[in-house]
């Protein structure tokens, strides 16, 4: 790039930060102020974030979040051995008990047959975790002899997690460097499984797209209203303690703030604080185009709200809240999914419509979870197993546990709108 043009672009970019930023020559890494840390991973990640801020000014929350979670060398999801379950930093519904994944499988089959049972078809899961939910789904599909023409496609950016998933789902797996997918294998009953880093690489076939606790990890931009003026919330180095980060607000309109105000004026009118993921919008558009071209349906499951919450950006470590700006890379970063905005994204595509969201309790009950629990209890071989089953079911469905906090949102091609009744 021409040097003069590059300098102009840099000046334009830094003018959006809340303060004037002077371009500097960074000292050697050995002379940078380095925060104390428990490991090399957090040490290097925090140092790199500081260097970025020193070079170009405060960064958006989305940039910080993306870097902390997916940095190839030190990102939380890229290097941690096990972030899920009782030994990790958080636990997900599929890890609590098999009933969750089984009821999702029942929903998938029920909706699939409404489409006439198309063959071939594929299950596509975004961010499959340890593969537990997909394992339960495939077991149900196999038991009901519903695997004819089925292939499985997992979108996973972490090499480590893909290996964990492959160990659970496949007899063996093979890595690839010359194909759209980077790993493949076969399940015990012969179903082909592929791993991809991006949804656009997944084949264009009738798809059931599943996203469980995926959208909450997509980077968000935070905007807040001060008087009559909207500002973007950014992350900067704390001037009082150079080893820490802090939140600041933009001095002037940032590019993403302009995008928000231009594209979503109705949201800006009704609120004083908004968390919005533009990556979520891009992903919804991809799914919508896929359904429009090849048919399909989707299910988004996540903890979230309908637009009534404000600041939900936080971190979890060892199942406890953790300051998201402390030791980046050591804890999971997340933000509640705003389902009202997600619905808005879907409506704007004009290619998909939604049903829901409904609560996890309602979804599981309508799918027959109580009946399934009774069957499992009759088969339990000990009182300890019965206790585990009932406690797991309680955690999944009670209002003060996961029952109301988690929401289910169904996505369908817009051509089928006339055949469905919109539900709250």
Does some domain include residue 171?
A: yes
Q: What is the pLDDT of residue 267?
A: 86
Q: Residue 418: its pLDDT value, please? A: 79
pLDDT computed for residue 266 by the predictor: 87
pTM of the model: 0.85
Tell me how long the chain is. 424
Domain span holding position 407: 93-218+278-419
pLDDT at res. 231: 96
271 within some domain: no
> Quick check: is 384 in a domain?
yes
In a domain, 389, yes or no: yes
What pLDDT does 4 receive? Answer: 46
**What is the pLDDT at residue 270?**
82
Q: What angle do CA 65, 70, 73 make, to 5 degrees?
A: 125
Q: Is residue 391 part of a domain?
A: yes
Query: Would 202 be classed as within a structural domain?
Result: yes
pLDDT of amino acid 80: 60
Residue 210 in domain = yes
The full DSSP string for 121-148 is: EEEEEES-TTSHHHHHHHHHHHHTT--T
Residues of the chain with pLDDT below 50 are 1-43, 85-89, 422-424
Are 201 and 181 within 8 A, CB to CB? yes
Q: What is the CATH number of the domain that holds 121?
A: 3.40.50.12710
Q: State how many domains the chain has.
A: 1
Looking at residue 104, its pLDDT comes to 98
Whether residue 32 is contained in a domain is answered as: no
What 8-state DSSP symbol labels residue 84? B
């Amino acid at each position: 790039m021409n040097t003069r043009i590059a300098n102009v672009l840099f000046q334009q970019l830094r003018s959006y930060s809340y303060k004037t930023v002077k371009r500097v020559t960074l000292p050697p890494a050995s002379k940078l102020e380095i925060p104390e840390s428990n490991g090399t991973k957090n040490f290097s990640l925090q140092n790199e974030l500081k260097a970025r801020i020193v070079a170009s000014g405060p960064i958006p929350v989305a940039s910080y979040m993306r870097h902390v979670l997916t940095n190839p060398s030190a990102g939380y999801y890229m290097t941690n051995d096990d972030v899920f379950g009782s030994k990790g930093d958080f636990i997900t519904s599929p890890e609590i008990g098999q009933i969750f994944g089984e009821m999702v499988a029942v929903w998938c089959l029920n909706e699939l047959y409404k489409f006439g049972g198309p063959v071939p078809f594929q299950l596509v899961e975004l961010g499959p975790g340890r593969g537990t939910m997909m394992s339960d789904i495939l077991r149900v599909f196999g038991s009901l002899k519903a695997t004819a023409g089925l292939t499985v496609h997992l979108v996973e950016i972490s090499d480590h997690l893909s290996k964990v998933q492959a160990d659970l789902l496949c007899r063996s797996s093979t890595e690839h460097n010359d194909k759209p997918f980077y790993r493949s294998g076969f399940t015990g009953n012969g179903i082909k499984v592929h791993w991809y880093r991006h949804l656009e690489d997944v084949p264009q076939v009738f798809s059931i797209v599943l996203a469980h606790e995926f959208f909450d990890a997509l980077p968000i931009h935070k905007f807040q209203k001060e008087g009559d003026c909207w500002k973007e919330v950014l992350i900067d180095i704390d001037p009082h303690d150079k080893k820490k980060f802090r939140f600041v607000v933009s001095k002037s309109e940032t590019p993403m703030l302009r995008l928000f105000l231009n594209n979503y004026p109705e949201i800006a009118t009704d609120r004083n604080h908004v968390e919005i993921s533009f990556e979520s919008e891009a992903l919804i558009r991809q799914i919508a185009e896929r359904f429009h071209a090849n048919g399909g349906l989707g299910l988004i499951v996540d903890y979230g709200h309908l637009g009534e919450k404000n600041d939900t950006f936080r971190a979890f470590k060892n199942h406890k809240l953790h300051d998201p700006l402390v030791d980046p890379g050591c804890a999971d970063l997340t933000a509640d999914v705003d389902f009202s905005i997600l619905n808005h994204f879907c409506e704007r595509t004009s290619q998909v419509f939604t049903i829901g969201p409904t609560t996890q309790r309602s979804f599981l009950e309508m799918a027959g979870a109580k009946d399934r629990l009774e069957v499992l209890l009759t088969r339990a071989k000990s009182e300890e197993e019965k206790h585990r089953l009932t406690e797991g079911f309680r955690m999944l469905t009670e209002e003060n546990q996961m029952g109301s906090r988690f929401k289910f949102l169904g996505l369908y091609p817009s051509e089928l709108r006339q055949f469905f009744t919109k539900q709250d």
